[in-house]
Amino acid sequence: MDRLKQRADFLAAAGGAKIATAAFVLQGRNRDDDGPARIGFTVSRKVGTAVERNRVRRRLRDIVRRSATDDLRPGYDYVVVGRRIALNRPFEHMIEDFKTALQRLERQRTSDRHPRSGGPASNGRKTGR
């Protein structure tokens, strides 16, 4: 597992799928290559002071380190965006949230590969023509 460090990579991941949990938002994007999974962490200034942001970032890194990193897909970029509630949320709950978010992201990824019978342009509305 490699780290994301370039701003362009963070922006590209922001354009992918998003799964929101109480303590963080998990963003994921397929790079279309066979390289290792890369992960980045970000916590905005809205979360709090520098000390609080760093604490949130450390907790998020530890969650990824301890949880099922085998579930991270090769060729994928992930970004974990911390929220203020991550300061006080029980660590075990955050680990479960991360595992669930990865599963939801995977389901979303497979459903994007297999669109419904209406095709990608179909959004359930009539075109009026």
Report the chain's mean pLDDT, rounded to a whole number: 86
How far apart are the C-alpha atoms of 57 and 63, rounded to whole Å?
Answer: 10
Fold that domain 2-111 belongs to in CATH:
Ribosomal Protein S5; domain 2 (3.30.230)
Please report the DSSP string for 51-62 in residue order: HHHHHHHHHHHH
Residue 114 has pLDDT above 80, yes or no: no
Residue 70 has pLDDT above 80, yes or no: no
pTM of the entire structure?
Answer: 0.81
Encoded tokens for 105? 């992201």
pLDDT tens column, 116-127 = 545 455 555 555
**Do residues 26 and 39 make contact, with C-beta atoms less than 8 angstroms apart?**
no
